Copies of this chain bind each other. A is one copy, B any other.
Amino acid sequence: MDLHGKSFVGGVLCASGGRQFHATSPLDGAQLETEFCEAAAEDVEAALELADAAFTELRQLGAEERALFIERVAEEILGLGDKLLERAHRETGLPLDRLTGERGRTVGQLRLFAGVVREGSWCDARIDTALPDRQPLPRPDLRRVLVPLGPVVVFGSSNFPLAFSVAGGDTASALAAGCPVIVKAHPAHPGTSELVAGAIAAAVTACGLPSGTFSMLHGGAELAHQLVRHPLTRAVGFTGSHRAGRALFDTAAQRAEPIPVFAEMSSLNPVFILPNALRERGAAIAEGLKNSVTLGVGQFCTKPGLVFGLGGPEMQTFAAALARLIESAAPATMLHAGIRDAFEKGLDSIAKVPGVVALATSGAEPDAERTQGGAAAFVTDAENFVQRRELHDELFGPFTLIVNAPSAAALADVARQMTGQLTATIHGTPEDLAAAGELIAVLERKAGRLLFNGFPTGVEVSPAMHHGGPYPATTDARFTSVGTAAILRFARPVCFQGFPAQALPPELQDENPRGLMRLVNGQLTREPIVR
């Protein structure tokens, strides 16, 4: 494979930094070809300067041109062909069929955002026409529209080497908003990152955009904080651990001029199994749960890591069924040795928590040479769960904890003690649901997405998706990182008062040339303003 190992600073390849590194395949522990070079502080400076200059040019770009650019990124990624999937497979250990699906998701996500840009109503145009004769004071002409924030720093995540990495959801939504993007590549898949960065750079060139529209830098934590501290950085998108996300949030909050950090960090995704559902289809729920827990070797941010039910014979039957399924689950290769080691250490810690009992582990022994993790399930009771705060931390990997509660009221009480979550799931019959008003009310405050009779893994990329939630699920519960609403993270309103028509952006002109849905004098309409 033809990789260069360099960073993309605007259109220029740079290898001026210090430390060199290689990727290691979790499939066999082998060092992969190509030496990668971390970017230097001056690369950060150059990338931000270029991005800032590009931003001014991008602001002049029409929506159609921006949409075409985003679609071109999608085409260029597809044009990389199998070599992208093969490198990603070797760097992440993720199976080729999963990566094929993830590429489809990545490309589909880009095209979805191109559609949002083209349709255009996301910019929330609002017009209050002048009332020159109003008493006691005339009303001026006011026209408000969302404009892009400026250069956005994106951190690639390890568990989605395509869909939440270099050209993933954060990049797609930031480009769609009209922001230049500087990606810090995840060091676990530098080759995959380089290939995708090359695709974006090719699209930038093909569309005649300024080179600073996109940069991608290799580097570690120090470079990450340099990027967040840089005065020209306007916002940050991140998917990863609570520890790393919080550190970036703190750096951003301590700036002379604080900037928003959208970090998606940590979630246990509790599943509540209500009594009638447990009785009617406990075995099916156990099967679905095991599939969701072990999907992608438990390396999804929506993996259900907590299962609540009412303790008793039916819950014991359920636990026994889940135990058999977990025992038969084959160990599988995790993303990298660091994640696998953290998973094993986490399991050891949980096993030592008083009042927690091991329920089952994969029957086969995980192969350390192949960076494997095995599935595991534990059991405790609600009182112990509430007391032991270490059980409230996410453990990334194919693990779940069953929590037995003494009563339906106790389910709501224990939910009240949880930290913020991306998702919360209820399994129930209509009868169960009707009786669960209090639980639903609590969960609405704790989670960004509530599921009924489903499983939280598998996050649809669509207008109605919300992938976010109260802290520590994310640093800002008001925004999503998946779905079209993610674009709203990277824009701010500007109001034009008394501007003549020719100086207004097309979104705010009387004629409504783009046919947007706008709020005109308090009424939502696509009609032009007729004088």
**Chain A residues proximal to chain B, CB less than 8 Å:** 56, 59, 101, 115, 121, 124, 126-128, 136-137, 139-140, 142-144, 147, 149-150, 249-250, 253-254, 257-258, 260, 419-420, 430, 433-434, 440-441, 444-445, 447-454, 458, 460, 462-466, 468, 470-472, 475-478, 480, 485, 491-500, 502-503, 517, 519, 521-522, 524
Contact = CB atoms under 8 A, between A and B. Distances in A.
Contacts of A101: 136
B441 A476 contact: no
Highest count of chain B CB atoms <10 Å: which of A126, A144, A452, A495: A495
A495 B449 contact: yes
A452 B485 contact: no
A149 B471 CA distance: 12
Contacts of A430: 500, 502
B444 A466 contact: no
Contacts of A468: 492-493
B142 A464 contact: yes
B121 A460 contact: no
A475 B515 CA distance: 33
Given A101-B136, A478-B492, 14 more contacts: A126-B463, A142-B462, A144-B466, A257-B471, A260-B476, A260-B478, A433-B503, A449-B494, A450-B496, A451-B497, A452-B497, A452-B498, A453-B498, A470-B492
A503 B491 CA distance: 33
Nearest to A147: B444
8 contacts: A128-B465, A249-B258, A448-B493, A448-B494, A449-B494, A449-B496, A450-B499, A452-B498
A519 B476 CA distance: 23
Nearest to A522: B463
A465 B517 contact: no
Given A128-B464, A464-B142, A500-B433, A56 B517 contact: no
Contact of A498 (B140, B249, B434, B454): B454
Nearest to A136: B101
Contacts of A444: 59, 147, 494
A140 B460 contact: yes
Given A144-B464, A466-B495, A253 B258 contact: yes
Contact of A464 (B500, B502, B503, B519): B519
